[in-house]
Amino acid sequence: MSNHVQGRNRDRNPNKDREDQKDQGQGQSLRVQILVYRCMGIDLWSPTRANDRPLLTFVTMGPLFMFMVPMLLAAHEYITQVSLLSDTLGSTFASLLTLVKFLLFCYHRKEFVGLIHRIRGILDKEISVWPDARQIVEAENQSDQMLSLTYTRCFGLAGIFAAMKPFVGIVLSLIRGDDIHLELPHNGVYPYDLQVVVWYVPTYLWNVMASYSAVTMALCVDTLLFFFTYNVCAIFKIAKHRMIHLPALGGKEELEGLIQVLVLHQTGLQIADNIADKYRPLIFLQFFLSALQICFIGFQVADLFPNPQSLYFIAFVGSLLIALFIYSKCGENINSASLDFGMGLYESNWTAFAPPTKRALLIAAMRAQRPCQMKGYFFEASMATFSAIVRSAVSYIMMLRSFNA
């Protein structure tokens, strides 16, 4: 009877069993990603919406879609007021970017889930064939989860500060003895009087729900990118280490061993190019809109500091900088990991290889000189791009302050 019940439970939870089998080979990978996707009502393991909770997805994303209307109206109304316009546009761009991320995931969901299973299958196979690969995979997944968790905490902190900003203004008004003016976390234009509590409370909750949706959906797509980049880097590193330790056996066996390594490297290149192609429009918008957000929100920090309300804008700018830095770091990691395979060719025991193997190495060395790049159409996601954006944003902030002087 007990065995029958256990068998029936396994039939009811095929996804759970598949996750447990994968985790046996790859530790704690995708833990943060699965959690944030569940908060949006999405089952990351399924390429379809069969196991999703559509009501939760509608409740979380619906307020954000509707929230674009009052923010765009506010941007039009404050077009001549630099301070209010900069605050409004910062929130508007953040919401717009989140909507793009949501639509991007919905459009490429089947491909993303397929890539997850393909990457995990490749790494599990490498671990079973070459036990030393386990340390590489575990190290990359640990880095991925640490980065994803830190990223989640930073964005969560920015969302909390956004929800607290109105109350900070109320407390400051009470301390100064001024009239209390009810404010919202994000500027917007509404067809009713927000100073009436009956209207203010549901509008405030609408703002908070939109902030939650923006933060959570951004975490979903961004942390999934972290998983892709770190695990593709693991494939490149495994190929490099296998190349370095490839024995000089001579004859057909030696050449077959080299071919296996080169096929693994080629697979990593194909997956990296596929990921870069899917994320290309998002990388472009992430860098472009984040640069504008840093400009507008940075102006608010410079204008309000040391007012306590500036803490929200400092947290907002910090989260934007962290997002840009991590996108740049992901691009840098894939670039360097793909180039490092060429170093593995030089560090191998190539002098002892047979002539056919050496000829194959020449072709592999030529290909290894061309790195993988994550591009936003006309620029690369790299630390050099990140530095250029930060320098330009500081210049724009100074320009805005001169307009407001």
User: For residue range 29-71, what is the model confidence (pLDDT) as tens digits?
Assistant: 789 999 999 989 999 988 888 888 999 999 888 888 888 888 8
Contact, 232 vs 119, CB < 8 A? yes
Q: Is the dihedral of CA 178, 184, 187, 192 positive or negative?
A: negative
Q: How far apart are CA 29 and CA 16, in angstroms?
A: 15
The distance between the two most distant Cα atoms of the chain, rounded to a whole number of Å, is: 89
Question: Between 38 and 294, where is the model more confident?
Answer: 38
Q: Residues 57-86: what's their mean pLDDT?
A: 82
Q: How far apart are CA 334 and CA 233, in angstroms?
A: 6
Q: Kindly indicate the confidence band of residue 123, based on its pLDDT and cuts at 50, 70 and 90.
A: very high
Would you give the DSSP letter of residue 180? P
**Sequence-ordered list of residues with C-beta below 8 angstroms from that of 103, at least 6 positions apart, any chain:** none
Confidence (pLDDT) at 309: 60
Confidence (pLDDT) at 295: 73
Confidence (pLDDT) at 19: 46
What tokens were used for 252? 């057909």
Would you give the DSSP letter of residue 375? B
176-205 confidence digits (pLDDT tens): 777 777 888 887 888 888 888 888 889 999
Task: Say whether pLDDT at 324 is over 70.
Answer: yes
φ, ψ of residue 308 to 5 degrees: the values are -55, -25
Q: Kindly indicate the confidence band of residue 403, based on its pLDDT and cuts at 50, 70 and 90.
A: low
Task: Say whether pLDDT at 119 is over 90.
Answer: yes
Confidence (pLDDT) at 20: 47
Contact, 63 vs 56, CB < 8 A? no
What tokens were used for 313? 């804008």
φ, ψ of residue 196 to 5 degrees: the values are -90, 125
Task: Say whether pLDDT at 5 is over 50.
Answer: no
Q: Kindly indicate the confidence band of residue 405, based on its pLDDT and cuts at 50, 70 and 90.
A: low
347-385 confidence digits (pLDDT tens): 888 888 888 888 888 888 888 888 888 888 888 888 888
Q: Residues 203-232: what's their mean pLDDT?
A: 90
φ, ψ of residue 193 to 5 degrees: the values are -85, 115
Q: Kindly indicate the confidence band of residue 12, based on its pLDDT and cuts at 50, 70 and 90.
A: very low
Contact, 64 vs 97, CB < 8 A? no
Q: Residues 229-238: what's their mean pLDDT?
A: 93
Confidence (pLDDT) at 230: 93
For all residues of the chain together, what is the average pLDDT? 82
Confidence (pLDDT) at 232: 93
Q: Does the bond joining 166 to the residue before it have cis omega, within 30 degrees of 0?
A: no
Which region among 70-74, 97-101, 301-305 has the lowest average model confidence (pLDDT)? Answer: 301-305
136-155 confidence digits (pLDDT tens): 999 999 989 988 888 888 88
The structural domains of the chain, with segments of one domain joined by +, span: 26-404
Confidence (pLDDT) at 10: 42
**Sequence-ordered list of residues with C-beta below 8 angstroms from that of 221, at least 6 positions apart, any chain:** 101, 102, 104, 105, 282
17-28 confidence digits (pLDDT tens): 444 444 444 556
Confidence (pLDDT) at 82: 66
Q: Kindly indicate the confidence band of residue 74, based on its pLDDT and cuts at 50, 70 and 90.
A: confident
pTM for this structure? 0.84
**Sequence-ordered list of residues with C-beta below 8 angstroms from that of 311, at least 6 positions apart, any chain:** 161, 168
Would you give the DSSP letter of residue 201? H
Q: Residues 247-258: what's their mean pLDDT?
A: 82
Confidence (pLDDT) at 83: 67
